[in-house]
A and B are shown apart, each in its own frame.
Chain A
Amino acid sequence: MIRIRDLTFFYADSTTPALDGIDLDIGDGEFVLLTGPSGSGKSSLCRCLNGLIPHFYGGRLGGAVEVQGWRTDQHSTAEMATKVGMVFQDPENQLVTTEVEREVAFGLENLGLPRQVIARRVEEALDTLSIAHLRERPVSELSGGEKQKVAIASALALHPEVLALDEPTSELDPKSAEEVLSAVQRLNDELGITVILVEHRMERVAHLADRLLVFRQGRVVCDGKPREVLAKDDLSALGVGVPPVARLARSLNHSGSGLLTVPLTVKEGRMALAGLFKKASPSQRNREVRTADKPVVEIRNLWHAYPAGTTALRGVSLDIHGGEFLAIMGRNSSGKTTLARHINGLLKPTRGSVKVNGADTAKLTTAQLARQVGFVFQNPNDHLFAETVEEELSFAPRNLGFSEGETRSRVESALKQFGLEAYRRQYPRSLSGGEKQRVALASVLVVQPQILVLDEPTRGMEHGLKSRLMEFLRDYRSKGNTVVLISHDVETVAEYADRVALLSEGRVVVDGDKRSVLSHALLFSPQINRLAQAFAAYGAPGDILTVDEALELLR
């Protein structure tokens, strides 16, 4: 039993509360989902549960948190560790030893337990997460998903009654994320461990949870069964990504079609919407067909082998046309990232050629290509180094030899375009997550390249930020520029891209209009398409991808 009373917390350097008068009871064995924009208090709440607040993070604390009868302000974090296990976002930063088995044993050693007890608990924990085969592997050789499972096993070995997971999947690809989440679900189902999970991607987890809490500015603004909370209309405004099937059902409810419950999964959606789909008469839809401009990037029989010996690309040929929005998808290590790094010359072809606006990238440096190709990496923290936002933005134009006046005018227009004028003299790294993302993007786009490559920019991003970024890309593209987006996020791609290339083992296996690539697939189809596939026999078009398209059909 977790009992939270009037919990308020200010971080040491802050005048706005991170948590603002929270009252909450969580019963034993509950699976509670926390969501909401970043900085809304989800992580802070997790830190309160195991005493990291107030013992590790200084600040002003008011109210009380009690877990299984222990007040967190009266017990140290080390003591609380036996009540509340915690798993963090970055798998890399929570493993401290070099070997899996020792990692799981670390907490038990800290408690000074006898060797036989440690051995037994390590065994149990490895088995529970089905990672006994990793036992002697060096931590550095594990995949992100495996690392996260090791982190969960390490927390579990201390026999906590509560497991708090702070965005455990946001650094993972969808398949690993799925594996980690089903492991968490099993712990909840079979061992009855209370689970507190912070997560942005509702479509992955909403159906697993008993309860959904939506945070905003340090307060809990919605609290209830996921189905009920997601049925509310104002969730997108709160920055919560509602799963597409739920969004579809809600819109239909709203327009008076009279569904009773909101479905959370494709399966539920198929059952709930069967009647409507069968009645719907597909109208002849006009799909705009875009005439292809001349290619701005020409990739011919591209091979790439890394010095260590792995061949990442095996004969890729691809034309990217001006004004196109191309999404490159594929599972981990399928060659997406390697391919993208050839477009701005970070990597050079081992065989074959890459031409940008007719110029061979093998003969140009990345810096020389930077005027034409902008490249945005996933983590804005890797971009930012300057003292002020202004300086950060002038870095690229100066590097490219723009005159001082030209640089200044480019920086000004970028500040305006990205709404950063108010921050121009601030230290970029101390801005919020969304603002940093904007500065990083602006620092690349300030030189106005016609081609923009983004390497998984939305991974781990909250819903609100993601939609803003994608709207920006849509706008940038509409000015005749080209966007190449590497992404695992099927729903986002379905909504915004117009062409998809699917990579596997270093080859392009499918390349075409998003409708042909993303429909009729299993994992690489968006929810709405998987929903509609069931009704193909009744004439439902097999190539609808988004909620709006489904609404158009069903109305």
Chain B
Amino acid sequence: MIAYRNKNTAIHKLSPVPKLAWVAGIVVLSLLFDSPLYLALLFLVTLPIVAAAQVWREWASYLKLALFLGALVIVINSLINYHGAHVLVEAPFTVPGLGRPQVTLEAIISGIGNSLRLLATISAFSILTLTIHPDDLMQVLVKLKLPYKSVLVTSISTRFVPVLAADAARIVEVQQSRGLELGGGGLRQRIRNRTAVIIPLLANSLDRSVQVAEAMEARAFGSGRPRSNFKALEMLPLDVAALCMALAALGLGVLIRVLGQGAFRYFPAAGGPALDATAVYMLLGLLLLLASVWPVALLKRKLQLD
């Protein structure tokens, strides 16, 4: 199951606030940067955190999806994007309105850049979902002034994902026992077959949602009084330190981009600004700030244990 489990690692013990800031930093920077080098480094810097949180296996299932999507982006991009100076293959025919289809080196490179962006973003998000307790996340989001009810709905949906999966598996068994062959048949037959599973699943979920609503009301939901929180969003000094470093990383990244580094031009010929010494130092600083969340988390746990 790809869901949060408390693995008690230093990363899990870190307050959700710095983790959220850290993930947000990676996501924002991967949108700002265009250079494949910068994007690749953003992706690589998430790896030690995944290792430290001991969530390799769960992360891998997210990454499989990311790699699949990435490959798709590269293929589609190289097939439909005809800009670029270096033509590798050219079709012997023309398509009305598009001209002669061709695969260019630049189109492939730009596909790779976009895939790296996807990889970095998904890897960062997997750290968010795998190491922050959903209820903690909800509390932070509410603190950030997101509407409580929307946040609650999201959190309840995550709670019911495993339930829904079990429901679906059971209903498939029920209908197979009534002679349903899920694989075969023509399109019409297949749609019919899916209905036999989907209708009970949907109808049961609707019943379920009424019951959940009823149970929530019976426990004083919507009392009109401002909600309080059982768990304090405690920020120890080292959490604050981690938060500051995450924010500093974001700031530095924005600065790098404003100074013109991290940009990249794909068309007509691929190329970016030269990496001078300042750029290299700034980039190293950025990576160091991002990676430092790990030692800080380790330090926090050590202090807590002592």
Q: Which of B199, B215, B228 interacts with A88 by CB under 8 Å?
A: B215
Q: Are B218 and A367 in contact (CB under 8 A)?
A: no
Nearest B residue to A57 via CB reads: B214
A76 to B218, CA, bound (A): 10
- A77 neighbours in B (Cβ, 8 Å): 217-218, 220, 222
Q: Are B177 and A99 in contact (CB under 8 A)?
A: no
A136 to B176, CA, bound (A): 38
A50 to B218, CA, bound (A): 7
Which residues, 196 to 229 on B, are CB-close (under 8 Å) to A?
196-200, 203-204, 207-208, 211-229
Which residues, 344 to 378 on A, are CB-close (under 8 Å) to B?
344, 346, 365-367, 370-371, 374-375, 377
> How far, in Å, is B214 (CB) from chain A's closest CB?
6
A384 to B227, CA, bound (A): 40
- B150 neighbours in A (Cβ, 8 Å): none
A76 to B220, CA, bound (A): 9
> How far, in Å, is A176 (CB) from chain B's closest CB?
18
| Cβ proximity bits A382-412 to B, threshold 8 Å, 1 near / 0 not | 1111000000000111011000000000000
Q: Are A122 and B230 in contact (CB under 8 A)?
A: yes
Q: Are B223 and A96 in contact (CB under 8 A)?
A: no
A344 to B179, CA, bound (A): 11
| Cβ proximity bits B216-252 to A, threshold 8 Å, 1 near / 0 not | 1111111111111111100000000000000000000
Q: Are A96 and B178 in contact (CB under 8 A)?
A: no
- B229 neighbours in A (Cβ, 8 Å): 109, 115
- A396 neighbours in B (Cβ, 8 Å): 178-179
B162 adjacent to chain A (CB < 8 Å): yes
Looking at chain B, what size class is its interface with the partner chain? 35 or more
| Cβ proximity bits B146-187 to A, threshold 8 Å, 1 near / 0 not | 000000000110110011000100110110111111000000
Q: Are A399 and B179 in contact (CB under 8 A)?
A: yes
Q: Which of B4, B181, B213, B230 has the most CB of A within 10 A?
A: B230
A108 to B170, CA, bound (A): 35
Q: Are A136 and B212 in contact (CB under 8 A)?
A: no
A82 to B220, CA, bound (A): 8
A344 to B180, CA, bound (A): 13
Q: Are B177 and A381 in contact (CB under 8 A)?
A: no
Given the known inter-chain contacts A88-B214, A118-B230, please indicate yes or no for A78 contacting B224, CB distance below 8 A: yes
Q: Are B223 and A112 in contact (CB under 8 A)?
A: yes
Q: Are A158 and B219 in contact (CB under 8 A)?
A: yes
Q: Are B208 and A93 in contact (CB under 8 A)?
A: yes
B6 adjacent to chain A (CB < 8 Å): yes
B134 adjacent to chain A (CB < 8 Å): yes
Q: Are B214 and A367 in contact (CB under 8 A)?
A: no
Q: Are A86 and B218 in contact (CB under 8 A)?
A: yes
Q: Are A56 and B214 in contact (CB under 8 A)?
A: yes
> How far, in Å, is B222 (CB) from chain A's closest CB?
5
Nearest A residue to B180 via CB reads: A399
Given the known inter-chain contacts A374-B177, A447-B179, please indicate yes or no for A81 contacting B220, CB distance below 8 A: yes
A188 adjacent to chain B (CB < 8 Å): no
Number of interface residues of A (CB under 8 A): 71
Nearest B residue to A370 via CB reads: B179
- B220 neighbours in A (Cβ, 8 Å): 77-79, 81-82, 107, 110-111, 158
> How far, in Å, is A294 (CB) from chain B's closest CB?
25
Given the known inter-chain contacts A96-B156, A370-B179, please indicate yes or no for A118 contacting B217, CB distance below 8 A: no
A381 to B220, CA, bound (A): 30
Q: Are A96 and B159 in contact (CB under 8 A)?
A: yes
A106 adjacent to chain B (CB < 8 Å): yes
Q: Are A382 and B176 in contact (CB under 8 A)?
A: no
A92 adjacent to chain B (CB < 8 Å): yes
Q: Which of B6, B218, B231 has the most CB of A within 10 A?
A: B218
> How far, in Å, is A155 (CB) from chain B's closest CB?
7
A78 to B213, CA, bound (A): 12
Q: Are A96 and B200 in contact (CB under 8 A)?
A: no
A294 to B200, CA, bound (A): 38
- B179 neighbours in A (Cβ, 8 Å): 367, 370-371, 395-397, 399-400, 447
Given the known inter-chain contacts A93-B208, A96-B156, please indicate yes or no for A52 contacting B135, CB distance below 8 A: no
Nearest B residue to A157 via CB reads: B219
A5 adjacent to chain B (CB < 8 Å): no
Given the known inter-chain contacts A96-B216, A377-B170, please indicate yes or no for A444 contacting B200, CB distance below 8 A: no
- A375 neighbours in B (Cβ, 8 Å): 174, 177
B61 adjacent to chain A (CB < 8 Å): no
List 8 A-B pairs, Cβ < 8 Å.
A77-B222, A88-B211, A102-B231, A112-B225, A115-B232, A151-B215, A158-B219, A396-B179
State the 5 A-B residue pairs at the shortest beta-carbon distance, nearest first. Answer: A399-B179, A105-B230, A94-B215, A107-B219, A385-B199
Supplied contacts A140-B159, A399-B180, 11 more A-B pairs, CB within 8 Å: A76-B223, A94-B215, A98-B4, A107-B220, A111-B220, A115-B230, A346-B173, A365-B176, A367-B180, A382-B171, A385-B199
